[in-house]
Amino acid sequence: MATPYVTDETGGKYIASTQRPDGTWRKQRRVKEGYVPQEEVPVYENKYVKFFKSKPELPPGLSPEATAPVTPSRPEGGEPGLSKTAKRNLKRKEKRRQQQEKGEAEALSRTLEKVSLGETAQPPSAPQGSRAAPAAASDQPDSATTTEKAKKIKNLKKKLRQVEELQQRIQAGEISQPSKEQLEKLARRRALEVELEDLELGL
């Protein structure tokens, strides 16, 4: 906001008196020639700021007419403003999506045929959920159970190794008084061996 100036008959300039928020008045002040109020002083800009402000937005040699936005014309039988390659890519995507849907439909029909074949073998009293479960279970091999057995065998062998090490340390005299847990571990040795033999025979 520009400062309100008052000029008197002698030609001097004054800043008009103003009222404070509490109701008191400020005196009018004489302004010397060439005085510029603080709010009217231009903001200082260094040479770099001036350079970047004066720098043209377009690259050198490019005319402003070339950058004018072109209204997209709708080409025949396609999306507005798409190039040939973009149209080709859209067609490919659409084709892939249709093939995928077709493949999913075929897979679904195959599984339905398997389920319907499985239904004829089962008695009609069996519920719907139990009919579908055996078909899914027969498709999957018993690889999960074999890996589970292998893990158990590995775990049992590790426990037996620990028991043997503990027994050797007690016999060597490294452990003079074994703790309750150590004694329980030694007592479990025979049970671990039997369990390991059963699992190895079952594989």
Instruction: Give the model confidence (pLDDT) of 6-15 as tens digits.
Output: 766 666 777 8
Q: Rounded mean pLDDT of the chain?
A: 76
* pLDDT 10s digits, 159-177: 889 888 888 888 888 888 8
Q: Which two tokens stand for residue 174?
A: 């490294």
- Predicted pLDDT at 126: 46
- Domain housing 176: 146-201
Cβ neighbors of 160 (< 8 A, separation 6 or more) are 189, 192, 193, 196
Length of the chain: 203
In a domain, 95, yes or no: no
Please count the other Cβ atoms lying within 10 Å of the Cβ belonging to residue 15. 17
Q: How far apart are the first and last CA of the chain?
A: 94
- The answer to whether residue 77 sits within a structural domain is no
80 falls within a domain: no
29-31/5-7 β-pairing? unpaired
pLDDT band at 94, cuts 50/70/90?
very high
The pLDDT of residue 132 is: 46
Using CA atoms, how far residue 10 sits from 13, 35, 61, 118, 174, in Å, is 9, 18, 58, 115, 115
Higher per-residue pLDDT: 47 or 137: 47
Domain final residue, candidates 38, 55, 72: 55
pLDDT by residue (tens digit) across 117-156? 555 545 445 445 444 445 444 445 567 778 888 888 888 8
Query: Binning pLDDT at 50, 70 and 90, where does residue 48 land?
Result: confident
Q: How many domains does the chain have?
A: 2
- Establish if 123 belongs to a structural domain: no
